[in-house]
Homo-oligomer: A and B are copies of this chain.
Amino acid sequence: MSTSTHAMRKITYREAVREAIRDAIQKDERVFLMGEDVGRYGGCFAVSKGLLDELGPARILDTPLSESGFVGAGIGAALGGMRPIVEVMTCNFSLLAADQILNNAAVYLHMSGGLFNVPIVIRMATGGGRQVAAQHSRCLDGWYAHIPGIKVVSPATVEDARGMLWTALEDPDPVLIFENSGLYNMEGELAVDAGPVDIDSARIRRQGKHITLISYSASLIKSLDAAEILAREGIDAEVIDLRTLRPLDEKTFLESVGKTHRALIIDEGWRSGSISAEISARIMESGFFDLDAPVQRLCSVEVPMPYAKHLEDAALPQVDKIVDIVRSMVGANG
């Protein structure tokens, strides 16, 4: 997906995140990684495997099981001049640190009238699809995006997995990075000299003219797959990768809808009060007269994730469902 003309190489999303961490720590002495099992264990998703040996215990810090404590300590360390990357194993456990994220990180700059900013990066795995049931499968990217004062990014490509971290670390304010656990094994092409990428704009990942598919993270991959299938039927879908859920780059999707006149949002979050609802509402507010058909959403079914595979598959957005909805949307009012 990269448009770079440089030499390319194959890399997994996991490796891309690891490289980004290594690079940041080597580049800036204020940067360190902390979290549960990031060191000796190698990270619960093996993201930081090997980094403790390479970079030493002063930069790769194993923490006890104390989500609120170490996220808060990360905020304090950021206030104290460091640039912490705090890993919370999954967004499900970040609920234990919700107080620190919302009541401290998100509001410190404002409460202090601009005196104290919090340059922390909090990474967490998100998403379902691995049969780990209700307490381990939430996709909360969009839920956190409701909160002013934090930024929320959801890398969907190896390029973004590699490039967003440094930009987030340079950002003066708290940035939450959601890594969909279904993507860690995904391979992609990355420029040998790939570096930082912006974290404030959406990207058109596929040009098209009949409908706009708006998505992010793991659902983007499914949307692109669906677009391929649809292309064979003559339906040419434009596919947008939101990349950053807060602040939301509405310009990109509004322009696209202005061109295609139809939109489907694909979101692994639950439907009610989701980021996809926000996108639909924004199109309502600023793109209403462009629309040839109502904007539709495909979200996760509103159910705590069941363990059984067939039920889990049915709960998540899937390629065939995207294809079906697009067919009905384009066919019906085309």
Judge if A285 is at the interface, Cβ distance under 8 Å: yes
Name A111's contact: one of B135, B142, B277 (CB within 8 Å).
Answer: B135
For residue A101, which residue of chain B has the nearest CB? Answer: B95
Judge if A13 is at the interface, Cβ distance under 8 Å: no
Residues of B within 8 A of A271 (CB): 278
Number of copies: 2
For residue A300, which residue of chain B has the nearest CB? Answer: B148
CA distance A68 to B92 in the complex (A): 15
Task: Indicate whether A273 sits within 8 Å of B284 (C-beta atoms), given known contacts A110-B303, A134-B110.
Answer: no
Give the contact stretch, choosing among A46-54, A226-234, A290-298: A290-298
Contact, CB under 8 Å: A284 / B278: no
Judge if A38 is at the interface, Cβ distance under 8 Å: no
Contact, CB under 8 Å: B277 / A248: no
Residues of B within 8 A of A280 (CB): 277, 280-281, 284-285
Residues of A within 8 A of B (CB-CB), count: 53
Contact, CB under 8 Å: B246 / A272: yes
Residues of B within 8 A of A103 (CB): 92, 95, 135
Judge if A116 is at the interface, Cβ distance under 8 Å: no
| Minimum C-beta distance from A214 to chain B (A) | 12
| Minimum C-beta distance from A142 to chain B (A) | 6
Judge if A35 is at the interface, Cβ distance under 8 Å: no
Contact, CB under 8 Å: A275 / B273: yes
Judge if A12 is at the interface, Cβ distance under 8 Å: no
- Kindly supply a per-residue 1/0 record for chain A positions 263-288, scoring 1 wherever the CB is within 8 Å of any chain B CB and 0 otherwise: 00000011111111110110111001
Name A281's contact: one of B98, B149, B269, B276 (CB within 8 Å).
Answer: B276
Residues of B within 8 A of A273 (CB): 142-143, 145-146, 273-275, 277-278
Judge if A186 is at the interface, Cβ distance under 8 Å: no
Contact, CB under 8 Å: A304 / B143: no
| Minimum C-beta distance from A151 to chain B (A) | 12
Contact, CB under 8 Å: B111 / A304: yes
- A selection of 9 A-B contacts at a CB cut-off of 8 Å is A92-B102, A93-B99, A98-B99, A107-B134, A142-B273, A145-B273, A147-B270, A277-B281, A284-B295
For the complex of A and B, list the 10 residue pairs with the smallest distance between their C-beta atoms, beginning with the closest.
A280-B281, A288-B294, A146-B273, A277-B277, A107-B134, A277-B281, A110-B304, A98-B98, A107-B304, A95-B98
